[in-house]
Every structure is written in C-alpha cells, then in structure tokens.
Chains A and B, each alone.
Chain A
C-alpha cells in the first residue's frame, strides 16, 4: 500500500502510453510474417475474431483490475490480485505480472539497442551501397556470432546506453518520464511508419525480376485462402499474435491503469489504445517489410527468408535501392520507429517493478529505477553472452510466451469467477464514456477463459506439426501404446526434453542444452526471488495492520 503521488498528466498521454506499451517490434516484424505463414489475407479473419473475443475482453479486464487495485493504493499485480479475493495464493500468481516484464525487458532492451545502433549508422550513411552479404556479415560481427560464447563489445555498450536511457526515464516517473516520451515517440513512430508505407504503396514494379513488385507483396499478404479457415493452427497463430501485440497477460496494463480514479473512464480508453495498436500493426506493419522485400527480391526469396532478422539483415539493402538521400531517410525512419516502438514497451515493462517496490518498501523513484537497472543488467547479460547457445530464445519462450498465457488465464478466471461478474462488470462500466455492449458479460465469463484455456492446453500438449490431423494421429499413437508424438515446442517437451533426452555434455564439451537449462534455473531463481519479496511485503502489511 502506498502513499504515491504519481499520476498521469492527461488522458491523451495515458492512451498514447498504453498504445506505446502495446506497439512493439512485433507489430512490424511478427505480424506480417505470421500472416504470410498462415493463410495470407484469411489470417486477418481469425485475427479480428480473436481481437473481439479475447483481446478486447482482456483489455477491459486488465484496465478494470488495475483501477480497482489503485483504489487501495496498489500499483503492481501481486497486491492488485490480493485485493480481489481472500485467498492468499493469488498474490503469488501476481508475481507473474512483475517477473514476465523483467524477463522480457532483459532481452528486449538488447534488441532495442540494436535498433538504436542501426538508427545512428543509417544516419551516418554507413549502409549506403551495401549488399545482403555485407549486411549479414556486419550483423553477425556486431553480435559476435560464430564464436560460441559471445562478447560483442559494441553491442554490449549499446545495451548499457539503452538500459541507462530506460532507467533514467523510469526514474522521472509517470507523467514527467513515460508519458512525455510516449507523447513524442508515438506521433513520430506513426509518421515514420506512414512515410515507409507510402513509399511501399507507390514503388510498384521495380523490374528486378518477373514478380518484383510491391503490389505482388501486398497481394501475397492480403490474398485470402478461405480453405485455411478450417485449420485450427491458423486460429492458434492468430490468437497468439493478439496476445503479443496487445501486451495482455503481462501486468503492465494493470500498473498503468492503477493510477486512475474510480470515476474515470477505462472502457473507452482501452478501446482507443487497443485500436491504435491495431492501426499500427494492420495498416502500417503490413505495408513495410514484406511488400518492399518482394518489390526488390521477389516472392520466392521472401517465402524462403521471411523472419525477424529481415529488419536488420535486409531492410537497409532495400532502402538503398531508393537512392542515397531516401535510403538515409528511410533507414532512420525504419530503425527510429523500431526504437520508439521498443522503448515505449520496455518502459512499460519497468513500471510494475517500480510500482511494487515503491508501494511495499517505500523506495524512492531513483533507488527503484537503479536497482531495476542492475537486475535487468544481471538478467540480460546471459542473453547477450550466450546468445548463440539459445539462451535468448529460451527467455523469449518462457517469459515472453508461456508466462503471458498462464497469467492471462489466471487473471480472467479470478476476475470473472472468483471476484464475480457482477462486481467485475460494474468495475468495467463505472465512469465509462461509451456504452459497453452487454454481450461482453457472457463473453468475459465463458468465451475468453475457454479461448485462452484452449491456447494453453494445445501449447502444453502440442503434437508433432500441430495440424488438426496430427492431433488424431497423436491420439491413435497414444491409444496404441506408442506414446504421444510431442512437438519440439510443446511446453511438456520443452520442460522434460522428451524428444532428445537430457544431454549436458557431448564430446567433452558443454552442450547448448546445458546453457539453456541453466538459464531456466536462473529464471526460476528470479521468479522465486520475487515471490520472497512479495512474502516479505505481505508480512510487513500484516505487522502494520496489527499495530
């Protein structure tokens, strides 16, 4: 419980900060790739259905939980959840709302630092005249790939600078720090994105190859194939994308909204921030990477190479085709928008910790921010040094994927079934500046938990390939005594290494699995460290109450 005097400066500032929290690198890099891999234009149908049935309900639930917790002076999920029920264990579930953010911030800030470096290099014109091979070599040398254990000096320095910027802004507080950055970053981000989208839409055919046209790229992204709608894999991919893009299941929305008063609107604010994120993803995000790449490299190249790394290993080459002046402007716009998208999200990830330690331990903003910086540095270094060993991906899997689903499932059950929909609905509609459709009451109670439950169970038991037919094959295999054919990325297989067995040594050397498993133990230790802090905070509250 705090005596915090933090507040938002303005409603528009809060919405821009919330939208900035949601808009991240995934809007420009994950969404178009997911669409390409999952039915092209048809992907948008399950995507929008997931947004309506899972995204919007979760946004309202998280905004409502946050504002409810703020009434008791709580600004982080452990005690926001604790206020909603008498069962003590829920506050430990709330630890996910701090842990997930710190885990993601540790590796996310590293990627953010790449975008900062690439922005400066674009501004200097270092990418003028480069080819794809040179870009690949530069990136690999920048993160020191190929040496097994990575000591990328410049990348480490850039990481430290980026982390320091984040920590400084967080130490300034909500209104003077985060909100001020969001008010500058979000309009610039949209402006940069609009410039690149217009360039993409107006480039058309380049004559580099038979199908080298940005229109072919747009067609590839938007051409619907309705037969894919029957494939559950597409629906799961779309639902997963909604999770990542809205930053639900993380605890950041609760934290931002906990600084609101009971009479202030949350329903319209949530819709505005949610659709703003959709605009950046669907309108701007779909217009840049894939169409421009198809325009200069052709469809076959994109089908073979579409992925996250295109941002760094391909885009500067593509911009270079527009001539040196436009190449510099486009490079700065592209990496600048990625940096802004990244920093508005990483700042949001820092706030649950800031809220928690200020509320429970009475630490100052500076002290809280510096200790966060030290913790993120300690958590981030393994992802940099053991990048090639798979530690970076391991963090992303557990903190950036699995934890989100677990926490979202828990919070929606708590809200709709434990706290109760009568009280829950009142929380959502109190002070609302819009009429909240009543259909969302049964949706929040039944549809959203079912939706998330299916995502969680299918991720837990995912069979090889994960297609619908693979599930029936897997059940046949199980009933015939041949066991369950686990997909490599199913949660159960990830935990127990069923498909490969546990091998920490091979040919007298430590394997990648050793580093990956050690990083898991480290993340677990961080999680239980936070559990211990919540326990201490809880005891302090009891002592204060008994005085």
Chain B
C-alpha cells in the first residue's frame, strides 16, 4: 500500500471507530432519566 493510502485509511477508520465508541460509551454511561421514561424494561410496574 502507498503511504498516502495508508494515511487515509488510518485517519478515516481511526476517526470513525473513535467516534462510534465515544458516543456509544456516552449512551451507556448516561444516567437513566427518572420514571416515567420511554423504556419499558426499567419499569417497576409492567405497562
């Protein structure tokens, strides 16, 4: 592979992998909103 192709692939894929992990991790780490929220799995009483 040429150097320029290697730079493109590393920069682009690095950015995309980094952003995907960053945002998904942020979702997992965000505290749940107080009830009643939109999601049924954390309900105390089934809907």
Contacts and interface: CB of A to CB of B under 8 A. Distances in A.
Contacts of A7: 38-40, 47
B41 A223 contact: no
A11 B27 contact: yes
B37 A261 contact: yes
A276 B23 CA distance: 9
Nearest to B36: A261
Contacts of B13: 282-283
Interface of A: 5, 7-15, 41, 44, 48, 175, 215, 218-219, 222-224, 259-261, 263-265, 268-269, 271-272, 275-276, 278-279, 282-283, 431, 433-434
A268 B5 contact: no
Contacts of B20: 272, 275-276, 278-279
A43 to B, nearest CB: 10
B4 A10 contact: no
Contacts of A222: 1, 5-6, 8-9, 12
Contacts of A269: 27
Given A7-B39, A278-B19, A15 B27 contact: yes
Question: Which 5 A-B pairs have CB atoms at the shortest separation, nearest pair first?
Answer: A41-B8, A272-B23, A222-B5, A279-B20, A223-B5
A463 B31 CA distance: 53
Interface string B12-44: 110111011001101110100100111111100
Interface of B: 1-2, 4-6, 8-9, 12-13, 15-17, 19-20, 23-24, 26-28, 30, 33, 36-42, 47
Contacts of A259: 38
A215 B5 CA distance: 10
Q: What does DSSP make chain B's interface, helix, strand, loop or mixed?
A: helix
A268 B8 contact: no
Contacts of A434: 23, 26
B31 to A, nearest CB: 9
B33 A175 contact: no
Nearest to B15: A48
Contacts of A13: 39, 41
A282 B16 contact: yes
A219 B41 CA distance: 46
A261 B23 contact: no
B2 A275 contact: no
Contacts of A5: 47
B40 A12 contact: no
A10 B40 CA distance: 7
B2 A272 contact: no
Contact of A10 (B19, B30, B41): B41
A10 B41 CA distance: 6
B40 A275 contact: no
B47 A224 contact: no
Nearest to A434: B26
A275 B41 CA distance: 25
A265 B40 contact: no
B4 A223 contact: yes
A267 to B, nearest CB: 10
Among the interface residues B2, B8, B26, which one has the most CB atoms of the partner chain A within 10 A? B8
Contacts of A44: 8, 12
A446 B1 CA distance: 41
B3 to A, nearest CB: 10
Contacts of A271: 23
